[in-house]
A = this chain, B = another copy of it.
Amino acid sequence: MITSQEEIAPRRGEKKKRALVLWSGGLDSTTLLAIVRQQGFEPVALLFRYGQRHAVEVEAASREAVRQKLQHHIVEIDLSAIGGSALTSGEIDVPRGRELEDMSTGSIPPTYVPARNTIFLSYSLAWAEVLEVADIFIGVNALDYSGYPDCRREYIDAFETMANLACKSSTEDGVEISIHTPLIDRTKAEIIRWGVELGVDYGATWSCYAPHWSAAAAEPLACGECDSCILRRKGFIEAGVSDPTRYR
């Protein structure tokens, strides 16, 4: 796994290399997209409509992709048939109003989606082979209390090892697949400051797990109470950056 900018910069004089980016339209992966561009890659974004209880994030991302003239592909899969998560099953509630201490107990929260990153990365591997791309970026973050097992460095390293044994490109054509995780050790505030430097428009990103539709507002509002809203809000405060999110 290569994460520093120096190591992954494409060689000069060559045509711009493409990189696959797992993009949800959220704060982390939208910052990631700007980082990928800064590092000299031409991003190809993969968006997943995976049977989320709400698709506000994907819709925001689709609009943003068109505005940015970003190469992107929307993968349609149905993880709600599998369930097991507050994000895909109506039978499991999204936690609200949790204190930071409650989030940092080390236990995995109900918003964890079984094998989601493994499924997403597997699709990116198929696309990487077909597009002859060696670099895959994912905006996982091991800090900020997410507690998701598939956001940790040891998981990503193991996926990368597996990927290089799985593919035609790596086993026959000598392409080494790298899973890049530049955000993995960053706090939310650091990510936001990095994104602001790169000109990310956070008003066009969506993080809330439980959007609120009201008759008064044309667009849904963020709940302000789910773990994702709480961490996002805290991140803007700590970064000293004005939070463009419209909370209910």
Which residues of A are at the interface with B, using a C-beta cutoff of 8 A?
73, 75-79, 81-84, 107-108, 112-119, 121-123, 125-127, 129-130, 149-150, 152, 154-155, 158-159, 161-163, 165-168, 170-172
Contact = CB atoms under 8 A, between A and B. Distances in A.
B162 A107 contact: no
Contacts of A119: 119, 122-123, 126
B171 A149 contact: yes
Contacts of A125: 114-115, 118
A79 B126 contact: yes
A73 B81 contact: yes
Contacts of A172: 107-108, 149
Q: Which 4 A-B pairs have the closest CB atoms?
A: A115-B126, A158-B162, A114-B129, A84-B130
A152 to B, nearest CB: 7
Nearest to A130: B84
A111 B191 CA distance: 43
Contacts of A154: 165
Contacts of A116: 126
Contacts of A81: 73, 75
A150 B170 CA distance: 11
Question: Which one of A83, A113, A149 has the highest number of Cβ atoms from chain B below 10 Å of its Cβ?
Answer: A149
B126 A163 contact: no
